[in-house]
Amino acid sequence: MNQLVVAFPFWHWLVEPLQYEFLIRAIWVSAFVGLVCAVLSCYITLKGWSLMGDAISHAVVPGVVLAYALNIPFAIGAFTFGFGATVAIGYVKSKTRLKEDAVIGIVFTGFFALGLVLVTKIPSNVDLFHILFGNVLGISQQDIIQTLIAGSITLIVILLRRKDLLLFCFDPNHAKAIGLRTQVMYYTLLSVLALTIVAALQTAGIILVISMLVTPGSIGYLLSDRFDHMLWYSVVSSVLSCVLGTYLSYHFDVSTGGMIVVILTTLFVIAMIGAPKYGILAQEWRKRSGPNPEDDENQTVVVDQV
């Protein structure tokens, strides 16, 4: 009896926000964005394109501002500038002797700065704060549609080209040697990366979207050394963080994007410490217990991941 009384207010606290339609909607949208980001995240982390993701996310700002000013869908402006930045990066890199990280740094800050100048000059109802940090609780019907379209295209492209893209990440030389067009794959991966960022813009904002593009894949990478499993761990951790983060951000009245990334990062820390094979604890344990006696032949397998 007593227990029920104690339990009831908690239950009430738990379900009370779920009667608000805007919150349910926000949870669905962020779960979808979490799914899209998680899938792409596996490819981006394996390819080593985290910095490229960061660059694209910053470079979309002028596109968003111009799109609002011209009254066209924000997704089109954002994609154009995000993808344009990657083309600019590729061009500058091939025409100069600069290293890639320098080129990326120059191009994306240039785009971002242009965005800042535009947003303060062009009269529009763009809230810079919302671009930077996302605003999924206040997302409009139109923005949801754009998010769904951008995300769905990404998922379909990856579903159809997943093996080629994985081969491209793993061994582009072999891809070329068997006659696949690596240039096409390069731009395919860049386009879906830009599309994913467009989809995640409203949820996480451009500052935090990089976390959603890097952390889930990294969690999967630490937990498994099979791509399929990695993908699942990535999706579960990402969707869970998005749903829980959106829900809790309402409760505690805190930034939604911030809450999502805090949870995601917490999951990462747990994986980093406790992963069965590549976790810090497991590595410590292996070091102490010496070489693995199960290993057939004497060619000892060293799994000293750095």
Partner 1 sequence: MAATLSRLDISVDGVSVTYNNARLALYNATCTVEPGTITALVGPNGSGKSTLFKSIMGFLQPSQGRVRIGGFSVQKAQKQQLMAYVPQADEVDWNFPVSVFDVVMMGRYGYMNVLRIPSAKDRRLVMESLERVGMVKYRDRQIGELSGGQKKRAFLARALAQEGKVILLDEPFTGVDVKTEKGMIDLLMELRDEGHTILISTHDLASISTFCDHTILLNRTILAQGKTEETFTKENLELTFGGLPMLSLNQMFESTEVDA
DSSP string, the chain: -HHHHHHHHHHHHHHGGGG-HHHHHHHHHHHHHHHHHHHHHHHHHHHT-HHHHHHHHHHTHHHHHHHHHHTS-HHHHHHHHHHHHHHHHHHHHHHSS--HHHHHHHHHHHHHHHHHHHHHHS-----HHHHHH--GGG--HHHHHHHHHHHHHHHHHHHHHHHHHHHHHH-HHHHHHTT--HHHHHHHHHHHHHHHHHHHHHHHHHHHHHHHHHHHHHHHHHH-SSHHHHHHHHHHHHHHHHHHHHHHHHHTT--HHHHHHHHHHHHHHHHHHH-TTTSHHHHHHHHHH-S-TT-SSS-PPP----
The answer to the question of residue 167 lying near partner 1 (CB under 8 A) is yes
Which position among 164, 232, 262, 283 is part of the footprint of partner 1 (CB under 8 A)? 164
The answer to the question of residue 46 lying near partner 1 (CB under 8 A) is yes
The answer to the question of residue 160 lying near partner 1 (CB under 8 A) is yes
Q: State in angstroms the smallest separation of the CB of 171 from partner 1.
A: 7
- Rank residues 9 and 276 by Cβ distance to partner 1 and give the closer one: 276
Q: What is the per-residue binding string for partner 1 in 194-233, x denoting contact by CB under 8 A?
A: ---------------------------x--xxxx-xx---
Which position among 178, 288, 289, 290 is part of the footprint of partner 1 (CB under 8 A)? 178
- Rank residues 141 and 299 by Cβ distance to partner 1 and give the closer one: 299
Q: Contact region for partner 1 (CB under 8 A) — 7-15, 59-67, 124-132, 171-179? A: 171-179
Which position among 170, 273, 284, 291 is part of the footprint of partner 1 (CB under 8 A)? 170
The answer to the question of residue 92 lying near partner 1 (CB under 8 A) is no
Q: Which residues in 97-136 contact partner 1 (CB under 8 A)? A: 97
CA distance 214 to 235: 12
- Rank residues 109 and 292 by Cβ distance to partner 1 and give the closer one: 292
Q: Contact region for partner 1 (CB under 8 A) — 128-136, 195-203, 238-246, 294-302? A: 294-302
Residues in touch with partner 1 (CB under 8 A): 46, 97, 160, 163-164, 166-167, 169-171, 173-180, 221, 224-227, 229-230, 297, 299-301, 303, 305
